[in-house]
Structure 1
């Protein structure tokens, strides 16, 4: 469904883009009509990771929108701006271009941090509800003020994997991402899609985003939120452990509902996806 042409909206190649504050071209998809639901993807994916949820939302009377974060997917592979503040500002530019209000935000993993930062800094009067799944915690990296965090060496290892052989690294990462090593039974096709989306990302965007998701501190952002917040997390998440993330976030957010999915991994697939999607639609309609 075409919603018209907006300032900074490019249609020359048949693909919709908006122009960010620094001129970067940000790709987005826009399906259906109704109250807008913006889906923000995790690392190393892009907006296609939310296709099933977008169709489900549009089929249920919502306008489903998903963008590719800069450096990811079809968005511009910028050298600069691969940081959480700029990601949130890019999302604000999208909201401005499409003139969106009464927004429901949905973020997975890094996208959870992005929507929280956007809501706290740009979303006043615009955001109606927030949902996150497997979202990065208040702070991910271990430091003096966050002694329970993961050591910086963990993230240095991810950086090394991305630089040395990111194709193999993404193939290997899909095993713990989807809990295949714990018997979740996710298909080879879903693992292949994870790899495919990861390989569409720029090397610079992939590398810089590791710092963005691991070192950004969302504590004050979370404290400032007062809209209904649905906080979803699998209790077998090997990428963003629930004890360091949702179980800390729940104490910071005012109007929050925590839903723990037994045995669920980090990646949204299989039985976890079916259960989460049903809960998301219920939350959207509530």
Structure 2
């Protein structure tokens, strides 16, 4: 079931709601530069286990509106709040990958975890994607600046190159094309502006404001959000559990999908 939620007078967010009758709800927030379809291999399985799986496309991506404005963590968190209120979600698990993980963390801090009983982070882009004086573990800032420039000058080529560092395992040409197509659906300006957001914004002060059980899943071969980010999340979030994925890069939701689904269900059930 797909529908739109208005989060601003001129902005609608697309929501895919699978198994609305499920008794355990997960709201999935996707990573950059994809959309909710990245979770296909979760939506294939979890609804059959009794879960209501909701995927939202962040503004600028997938089927959501693509305005010129609003590509910062505060606005993304407010968009999540708009979806939560429109669907009247309560006692749900908020689950975010990469930039979607950063937006989920900002939601927890900015909106005091409204309605959320558990938080799940997958290769999350927090507390900082880029290196800082007090945090040397991120990407060199010039690497992300190059992504921004490439997004604005030859976005298809940028997406082809991104695939090579997104996955650790070899994937089929067809699956690489699928990944490419997910990224291509986004607007070019949205792709660049969100990259600016994760280059320049940080979430150090947000981590300590999370007061629900938190699951951190992270690939040890992640070349986008380095494993040190997961360690910092574990240290900064009071009630957090970290599970490493030994055969995954940034795409652990696909590369070790059976383990991913199992760990997520186990976390929600206990």
- With normalisation by structure 1, the TM-score equals 0.89
Q: Look up the SS of the partner of 1:230 in the other structure.
A: strand
Residues of 2 paired with 1:152 and 1:176: CA distance? Answer: 17
Q: Does 1:229 align with 2:214?
A: yes
Stretches of structure 1 that go unaligned for 5 or more consecutive residues are: 2-14
Q: Look up the SS of the partner of 1:250 in the other structure.
A: helix
Kept in 2, the 8 Å contact 1:55–1:64? The answer is no
Question: Corresponding residue for 1:248?
Answer: 232
Q: 1:271 to 1:27 in 2, by over 3 A?
A: closer
Residues of 2 paired with 1:30 and 1:123: CA distance? Answer: 24
Question: Corresponding residue for 1:27?
Answer: 14
Residues of 2 paired with 1:259 and 1:117: CA distance? Answer: 22
Stretches of structure 2 that go unaligned for 5 or more consecutive residues are: none
Q: Does 1:131 align with 2:120?
A: yes
**Deviation larger for 74-83 or 22-31:** 22-31
Q: Does 1:107 align with 2:92?
A: no
Residues of 1 paired with 2:120 and 2:253: CA distance? Answer: 17
Kept in 2, the 8 Å contact 1:186–1:270? The answer is no
Shift in Å, 1:269: 5.3
After superposition, the CA RMSD in angstroms is: 1.5
Kept in 1, the 8 Å contact 2:25–2:92? The answer is yes
| Partner deviation per Cα, 1:57-107 (whole Å, 9 max, x = no partner) | 221112110111000011001000011111110010000001110010111
Question: Corresponding residue for 1:194?
Answer: 179
| Partner deviation per Cα, 1:229-248 (whole Å, 9 max, x = no partner) | 001111111111102x1011
Question: Corresponding residue for 1:7?
Answer: none
Kept in 2, the 8 Å contact 1:186–1:269? The answer is no
Q: 1:22 to 1:208 in 2, by over 3 A?
A: farther
Q: Look up the SS of the partner of 2:8 in the other structure.
A: coil
Question: Corresponding residue for 1:38?
Answer: 27
Q: Does 1:211 align with 2:196?
A: yes
Question: Corresponding residue for 1:283?
Answer: 267
1:151 to 118, 128, 140: 140
Residues of 2 paired with 1:192 and 1:134: CA distance? Answer: 22
Question: Corresponding residue for 2:4?
Answer: 17
**Deviation larger for 265-274 or 15-24:** 265-274
Q: Does 1:67 align with 2:56?
A: yes
How many residue pairs match? The answer is 268
- With normalisation by structure 2, the TM-score equals 0.94
Shift in Å, 1:273: 1.8
